[in-house]
């Protein structure tokens, strides 16, 4: 098994059931395909796995374009993943691991909200599965609880797994030469930000404009039409300001505090969030979910203040280039960004590290640094704060790697993580082999020929 397969398999085990939560639901929209004669295909401890469990998950994978390999191979893989989970649930019960209903409900709410967003609305999700939201939650409650129990057991298995420097070297040497990954060009970038303030007069102007729009709506004009014409929320404006269903904890706190108190059709007064100023109209509420439309107006920085910010950065850049101040000192003294205490280093939201591949960067940043040398300082670059507010920044290219085959000298931290994942995977596999040997496991004849990763004991 090469490195890529090792890491993928580890990730697969590590995410048991998480990405396919909704696969636990019986689909009515694919009724002809899902009409199988249900039967118990496997028993692990006291838990059973049904043919319908495998079928539902297979159909969900296929509908999402996630099928790789033959149907038989995929079904066998699904079965083994389910067996992993059931084995861990059995252990959780033996160890008296506790997952409270509050934990389950909280996790379920978060995931259901994510699915609603993916479908576009609660109605579309309900239509797809042929079930009401209440029915979906009820059906998934047990599934989520089992997943949380399995997660706790798995975390216990790998929590104390570490790798030594010698183990990292051995791991790297064990990778076949033709399987060592290619590392793309990566950049480390720091910034000095000038975030010009919005004037009081501009904030008052925006509030008055929203109050005028609210008055027009109350006098009979259509909220959706005005949202299309005036709202500065690019995601919802074209939909008449409609956000779709959201649960608690998913929107700005100030927004939620107002929105959840509205009655159907009611229009809020003007409120402020990090994004700007809003008025909200309640469309409907279903339990702990609300669907609202809103109009967002964002106070603008005046051209004069924006130019002052740019000129200030020009002066700072001149000081740095003339060695009158170091870049790090300039960050600490002049930057308006939250990362000023961290040397102005940009953090990659995808990896939470400090390096970026080109496609992970803001296009403006990527275009700017592509022409820079390591240690070079850019001229002021326009940027958006919170995707809306105009500002400027200086960019410093701290480091840049060339595309290369992963090696111990340049990529030690990355290889260390791979080695750790590999050792964690082995710990999980060892645990599975040991527990399967001492747990009642039975698989029906049809699935006994599956190319399982583990030797599941058939009794």
- Tell me the backbone φ, ψ of residue 40, rounded to 5 degrees: -80, 120
Q: What is the pLDDT of residue 15?
A: 37
- Going by pLDDT thresholds of 50, 70 and 90, the confidence category of residue 1 is very low
Q: How far apart are CA 265 and CA 217, in angstroms?
A: 11
Identify the residue with better confidence: 118 or 376: 376
pTM: 0.66
| Percentages (nearest 5) of helix, strand, coil residues in the chain | 50, 15, 35
Identify the pLDDT of residue 88. 92
- Residue reference for tokens 């670059």: 381
Q: Rounded distance, CA 231 to CA 4, Å?
A: 46
**Which pLDDT belongs to residue 21?**
60
CATH 3.10.50.40 location in the chain: 183-197+302-405, 200-297
Residue 30 pLDDT greater than 50, yes or no = no
Query: Once rounded to an integer, what is the mean pLDDT over residues 110-120?
Result: 80
Burial class of residue 130, CB neighbours in 10 A (0-12, 13-18, 19+): middle
What pLDDT is stored for residue 25 in this prediction? 64
Segment 365-378 shows an average pLDDT of 94
H/E element, 103: helix 101-119
pLDDT digits (tens, 9 = 90+) for 42-83: 999 989 999 988 888 887 777 666 566 688 888 898 999 999
Q: What is the pLDDT of residue 105?
A: 85
Q: What is the pLDDT of residue 272?
A: 94
Say which DSSP state 339 is in. Answer: G
What's the pLDDT score for residue 139?
Answer: 84
**109-123, 292-306, 423-437, range with the lowest pLDDT:** 109-123
pLDDT of residue 132 exceeding 90, the answer is no
Summarised one tens digit per residue, pLDDT across range 4-20 is: 444 343 333 343 443 45
Q: Which ranges of 221-299 would DSSP assign to H, the alpha helix?
A: 223-230, 253-259
205 vs 122, residue with greater confidence: 205
pLDDT tens digits, 241-281: 998 888 877 889 999 999 999 999 999 999 999 889 999 99
- Residue 292's pLDDT band, with cuts at 50, 70 and 90, is very high
Percent residues over pLDDT 70 in the chain: 90
| Residues 111/105, Cβ–Cβ less than 8 Å | no
**Closest listed residue to residue 171, CA positions, set 436, 389, 421:** 421
pLDDT given at position 234: 84
Between 412-437 and 3-14, two packed helices, what is the crossing angle to 10 degrees?
60
The band of 458, judged by pLDDT with boundaries at 50, 70 and 90, is low
In sequence order, what DSSP letters do the residues of 206-235 get, joined into one string? HHHHHHHHHHHHHTT--HHHHHHHH---TT
Share of the chain above pLDDT 90, in %: 57
Mean pLDDT over each residue of the chain, to the nearest integer: 87
| CA 397/CA 369 separation, integer angstroms | 7
| Start and end residues for every CATH 1.10.4030.10 domain found in the chain | 3-166+414-448
* pLDDT tens readout for residues 209-251: 999 999 999 999 999 999 999 999 988 999 999 988 888 778 8
Across residues 147-168, what is the average pLDDT? 93
Q: Is the pLDDT of residue 287 over 80?
A: no
Classify domain 3-166+414-448 by CATH number: 1.10.4030.10
Q: For residue 5, what pLDDT is reported? A: 46
Are 454 and 436 spatial neighbours (Cβ–Cβ below 8 Å)? yes
Predicted local distance difference test score (pLDDT) of residue 68? 66
Question: Tokens in use for 213?
Answer: 């729009």
What confidence tier does 388 reach under pLDDT thresholds 50, 70, 90? confident
Q: Right CATH number for 200-297 from 3.10.50.40, 3.40.50.300, 2.102.10.10, 3.60.10.10? A: 3.10.50.40
pLDDT beyond 80 at 118: no
Residue 203 has pLDDT above 70, yes or no: yes
Give the pLDDT confidence score for residue 457 in this predicted structure.
64
Burial class of residue 340, CB neighbours in 10 A (0-12, 13-18, 19+): middle
Domain 183-197+302-405: which topology? Chitinase A; domain 3 (3.10.50)
The predicted pLDDT at position 249 comes to 78
């Amino acid at each position: 098994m090469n490195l890529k397969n090792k890491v993928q398999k580890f990730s697969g085990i590590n995410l048991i059931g998480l990405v396919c939560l909704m696969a636990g639901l019986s689909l009515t929209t694919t009724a002809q395909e899902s009409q199988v004669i249900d039967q118990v295909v496997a028993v692990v401890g006291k838990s059973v796995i049904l043919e319908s469990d495998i079928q539902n998950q297979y159909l969900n994978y296929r509908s999402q374009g996630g099928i790789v390999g033959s149907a038989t191979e995929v079904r066998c893989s699904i079965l083994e993943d389910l067996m992993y989970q059931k084995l861990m649930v059995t252990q959780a019960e033996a160890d008296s691991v506790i997952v409270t209903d509050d934990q389950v409900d909280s996790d379920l709410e978060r995931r259901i909200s994510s699915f609603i967003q993916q479908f576009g609305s609660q109605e579309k999700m309900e239509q797809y599965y042929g079930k009401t939201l209440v029915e979906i939650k009820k059906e998934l409650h047990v599934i989520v609880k089992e997943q949380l129990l399995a997660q706790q057991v798995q975390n216990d298995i790998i929590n104390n797994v570490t790798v030594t420097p010698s183990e990292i070297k051995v791991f790297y040497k064990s990778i076949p030469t033709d399987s060592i990954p290619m590392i793309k060009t990566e950049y480390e970038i720091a910034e000095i930000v000038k975030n010009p303030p919005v004037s009081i007069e501009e904030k008052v102007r925006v509030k008055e404009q929203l109050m005028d729009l609210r008055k027009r709506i109350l006098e009979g004009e259509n909220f959706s039409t005005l949202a299309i014409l005036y709202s500065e929320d690019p995601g919802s404006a074209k939909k008449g300001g409609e956000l779709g269903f959201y649960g608690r904890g998913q929107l700005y706190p100030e927004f939620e505090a107002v929105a959840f108190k509205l009655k159907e059709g009611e229009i809020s007064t003007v409120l402020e969030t990090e994004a700007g100023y809003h008025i909200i109209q309640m469309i409907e509420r279903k339990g702990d979910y609300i669907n609202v439309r809103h109009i967002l107006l964002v106070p603008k920085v005046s051209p004069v203040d924006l130019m002052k910010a740019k000129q200030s950065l020009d002066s700072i850049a001149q000081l740095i280039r003339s060695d009158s101040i170091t870049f790090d000192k300039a960050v600490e003294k002049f930057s308006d960004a939250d990362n000023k205490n961290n040397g102005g280093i940009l953090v990659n939201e995808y990896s939470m590290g400090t390096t970026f591949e080109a496609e992970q960067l803001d296009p403006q940043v990527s275009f700017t640094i592509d022409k820079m040398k390591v240690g070079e300082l850019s001229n002021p670059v326009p940027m958006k704060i919170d995707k809306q507010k105009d500002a400027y920044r200086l960019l410093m290219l701290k480091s840049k790697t060339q595309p290369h085959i992963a090696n111990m000298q340049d990529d030690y931290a990355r290889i260390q993580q791979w080695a750790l994942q590999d050792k964690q995977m082995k710990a999980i596999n060892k645990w599975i082999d040991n527990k399967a040997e001492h747990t009642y496991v039975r698989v029906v004849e049809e699935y006994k020929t599956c190319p399982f990763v583990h030797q599941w004991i058939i009794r």
